[in-house]
Amino acid sequence: MAGLADSGSNPDVDLLYDINGLAKAAPTWFDRIMEFVGEYGLLFAVMGMILWCWWGVRRRGGEDAASSVAALVWAPLAAGVAVLVNVPIRGFVERPRPFKDHQGLEVLVAGKNDYSFVSDHATLTMALAVGLFLANRKFGLVGLVLALFAGFCRVYMGVHYPTDVVGGLALGTAVALLLSPLAMALLTPVMRAIERSPRAGWLISARGRNDAQRNAVVPGTRRGAPGAEERDLAA
């Protein structure tokens, strides 16, 4: 395999060439699919599951709707925080992209000139998946599998070392888990306030809003009195 001799005894580089070698052996159309999946598709898939889960929580309603939505809101917030944490890490480590130091790689995405450690894509996808897991175990397990596959895709595409991906997966997990108690303590009261809002309550619980509308009393009427559906014209 071209370039393998340059890797020496470094298992990180050896695994990079082994995984990226699959891209060389694959047909061009398959590499184009992997390029889209690794660059955009998996991130969109996990975000789509978060939205799907939110829609289910909203339709179901219930006393725990606000806390469930708070957990789902934390998922993208955790991803954003994790990427911000990665900014100083990248600047401190300053690890070049693998294709700049190693010859013979099949690079599927051009224009990647920033630093390599840790992988932003792996960090984002894993933080989203862990946040989703905290809200819904079934959806979260699927998200975790997609996050691991996203890390594989980044190495397959020739834009990251395996340790870049491992670092991103660890960073995304740490931020989503460690900051979750604080995030829930702050977000849950906000979601409950939104749930009580006449205009924005539908974002948390469609059932709760419908119940509130059915139970509302029109001003000038008495609940349970004859003709309570109409205004008291004598008032």
Q: Please state whether the peptide bond connecting residue 37 to the residue before it is cis, i.e. omega within 30 degrees of 0.
A: no
User: CB within 8 A of 58, min separation 6: which ones?
Assistant: 65, 69, 202, 203, 204, 205, 206
The predicted model gives 137-147 an average pLDDT of: 94
Classify residue 232: in a domain, yes or no. no
In a domain, 198, yes or no: yes
CA distance 1 to 21: 7
Domain assignment of residue 218, yes or no: no
The number of domains in the chain is 1
CATH number of the domain within which 170 lies: 1.20.144
In a domain, 164, yes or no: yes
* Mean of pLDDT values over 115-127: 94
Higher-confidence residue of 21 and 207: namely 21
In the predicted structure, residue 1 carries a pLDDT above the cut 50: no
Pick the range with the lowest mean pLDDT from 41-45, 112-116, 120-124. Answer: 112-116
Asked whether residue 75 carries a pLDDT value surpassing 70, the answer given is yes
Among 12-16, 17-21, 41-45, 102-106, the least confident range? 102-106
Structural domain harbouring 53: 11-207
Note if the pTM is more than 0.75. yes
What mean pLDDT is predicted for residues 198-209?
75
User: Is residue 168 in a domain?
Assistant: yes
Query: Which of the four pLDDT bands, split at 50, 70 and 90, describes residue 208?
Result: low
> Residue 217 falls within a domain, yes or no?
no
